[in-house]
Structure 1
Amino acid sequence: MKFLIKHIVIVITCILIFFYIFSYINDFYNYFYQKKHTKKKNIKKLLKELLKDLFLIIFIISIRLFIFQSFTVSSSSMNPSLLTGDYILVQKFFYNIKNLIKKIKFNNYQPKRNDIIIFQYPKNTRLNYIKRVIGLPGDMVFYNPFTKRIYIFKKINNKYTITYNKKEKINNFTLNIIKNNKNFNNKYFHTYRSLIQEKYQEKFKYHIHDIILFHGIKNSLYLYNKHKTKWMWIIPKNQYFVMGDNRDKSSDSRLCGLVKKKNILGKAKYIWFSINYKSKKWLNIIRFHRIFKKIQ
């Protein structure tokens, strides 16, 4: 069914292109075979039509190269957010706008958590993958494959300094007790505990997230123990941890590693068309309720 629909779409597209080209062939034919006094009138009309279409073609190519590009979802790794057969528009300039003349990078947006992005697969950059951003630079990510839970310890942006006053040392001294006599009565004095400095610790608890520091880790992937029950990633600068919404059927950062910012092609914005290849009914092949749906 999937291949049949693709062939039908290709045939329809070819027919439309043929009629479009045929209209120009007809114009050229009329121009060259009509009488001379009508050629001058028709040449202006023909040039106007060509210029209109030329600007339209340049506009479409510019959008395709620099702003939006269409991609097709071919797997179920992003279910239920994106379904197999969804045709999506990706905003290409969202992360990497480059001035082709001066070759200077603009101050553009940074990928945000929960953004759905298109990127080049780290193990094979010729393949384009679509996943959701889970971890940002500076975050620490833990994943347990048995419970299928992911723990994210976000980067602390605001740092606080705690100061304290150090107590001066109290020296030992001798306290002489005068016995009862005619000039001094001891009943007004009581025996107190030794005059020493008691050791105590004041605890500060400004708890946002638990912070664990591991020194000397150079690789992005760290095995939590020898049984590999847990994985941990410390995300460096300009790299991101991505996952599919359908975790059981997704090849993402858990397997291929972190995604570099330079390999991100753009952010998925809209579903402009959707086809259900598994549908046996012709009326249900097109998912009309998903057309022009915003991707979240």
Structure 2
Amino acid sequence: MKWFETALVVLTLLTGVIWLLDRLVLARRRARKAGLLEPKEPVLVDYSRAFFPVLFVVLILRSFVAEPFRIPSSSMMPTLLIGDFILVNKFSYGIRLPITNRKVIDIGEPARGDVVVFRPPHQPDQDWIKRVIGLPGDTVEFRDNQISVNGVPFAYQREGTYEGVGRGREMTGASLYTEQMPDRAHEILHIDQAAPFHLGEGTWTVPQGHYFVMGDNRDRSDDGRFWGTLPESQLRGKAFLIWMNVDSSAPGWVDWGRIGQGIR
């Protein structure tokens, strides 16, 4: 939602300039003209003075602390469901300027397994979410629904058959696996059906300053297998919390059990 970020910055600057200009110049002029009478404050100034502090606080929190996002697709199931509202830590990977996303303070870098929000190179106006698989310098291979990094395959344990709810019902019947990375584990989905070929198979070498990302729903994810590596400059932050889940196709609409869950 780059348009929202742009609008927030423009409105904050506009109301701030109006409020400051009135405080330093225009208010004094009105007072001199009014004489003994109480000067009347213009409506635009009144609204600017009221909204600027609110817009400023929202801009600071959203740009540098935490930003809310909504999950619109099934690409990160079963970790994230359609209708999940999540919070993204905006300073995990450095302080970045709004709109331009330029990093001005370097704090940290993504670790393998992090769930990250980013703007893909081919869709720079959209915010996507995937999991980091390959780090700079890695060689990532995806064959027969299994990942190897630098020649070392991840371990897989089948946990059963997945049963989806709401808009995620289409994934009912898929196989649920635990994918074991070197230092963390998470769940993924595969559709175990006979096919003449596996989509997205290949080998990728991750350049310096780039990352290789994939969705946890391996057969329903448009990720690095199809458009390549992700430049570090496109990162937005690290997803860390589900604060709400609303799916009008699910019984009761709200899944109260997901509220407050951490994202691993």
Q: Which band: TM-score by shorter chain?
A: 0.5 to 0.7
Separation in 2, partners of 1:229, 1:88: 28
Q: Is the 8 A contact 1:113 1:136 kept in 2?
A: yes
1:55 Cα offset (Å)? 3.9
Give the counterpart of 2:150 among 143, 149, 153.
Answer: 153
Identity within the alignment, % = 35
Residue equivalent to 2:20: none
What is the CA RMSD across the aligned residues, in angstroms? 3.3
How many positions carry a matched residue from both structures? 176
CA distances 1:50-95 after superposition (whole Å, capped 9, x unpaired): 9897544432221012221111100011011000000111112222
Q: Is the 8 A contact 2:115 2:131 kept in 1?
A: yes
Q: How does 1:197-208 map to 2 (within 5 A)?
A: none
1:63 equivalent in alignment to 2:61: yes
SS class of match (2:95): coil
What TM-score results when the alignment is normalised by the length of structure 2? Answer: 0.58
Q: How does 1:22-41 map to 2 (within 5 A)?
A: none
SS class of match (1:61): helix
Residue equivalent to 2:18: none
Greater radius of gyration (CA): 1
Unaligned runs of 5+ in 2: 1-37, 39-47, 153-198
CA distances 1:13-40 after superposition (whole Å, capped 9, x unpaired): xxxxxxxxxxxxxxxxxxxxxxxxxxx9
Residue equivalent to 2:242: 271
Matched letter for residue 150 of structure 1: I
Matched letter for residue 264 of structure 1: L
Q: How does 1:72-221 map to 2 (within 5 A)?
A: 72-98=70-96, 105-144=104-143, 147-153=144-150
Residue equivalent to 1:286: 254
Separation in 2, partners of 1:62, 1:126: 21
Cα separation, partners in 2 of 1:238 and 1:246, compared to 1, 3 Å: same
Q: Is the 8 A contact 1:96 1:262 kept in 2?
A: no
1:119 Cα offset (Å)? 0.7
Q: Is the 8 A contact 1:139 1:152 kept in 2?
A: yes
Separation in 1, partners of 2:66, 2:231: 21
Unaligned runs of 5+ in 1: 1-39, 41-49, 156-227
Q: Is the 8 A contact 1:115 1:267 kept in 2?
A: yes
Q: Is the 8 A contact 1:138 1:154 kept in 2?
A: no
Separation in 1, partners of 2:200, 2:109: 32
Separation in 2, partners of 1:154, 1:118: 27
Q: Is the 8 A contact 1:139 1:154 kept in 2?
A: no
Pick 1 or 2: higher relative contact order, CA cutoff 8 A, min separation 6: 1
Cα separation, partners in 2 of 1:98 and 1:265, compared to 1, 3 Å: closer
Q: How does 1:252-271 map to 2 (within 5 A)?
A: 252-271=223-242
Separation in 1, partners of 2:92, 2:263: 15
Give the counterpart of 2:221 among 247, 250, 254.
Answer: 250
Separation in 2, partners of 1:288, 1:229: 35
Separation in 2, partners of 1:106, 1:239: 18
SS class of match (2:85): strand
Structure 1 runs (4+) deviating above 6 angstroms are: 50-53
Residue equivalent to 1:169: none
What TM-score results when the alignment is normalised by the length of structure 1? Answer: 0.52
CA distances 1:167-206 after superposition (whole Å, capped 9, x unpaired): xxxxxxxxxxxxxxxxxxxxxxxxxxxxxxxxxxxxxxxx
Q: Is the 8 A contact 1:113 1:135 kept in 2?
A: yes
1:236 Cα offset (Å)? 1.0
Residue equivalent to 1:210: none
Residue equivalent to 1:235: 206
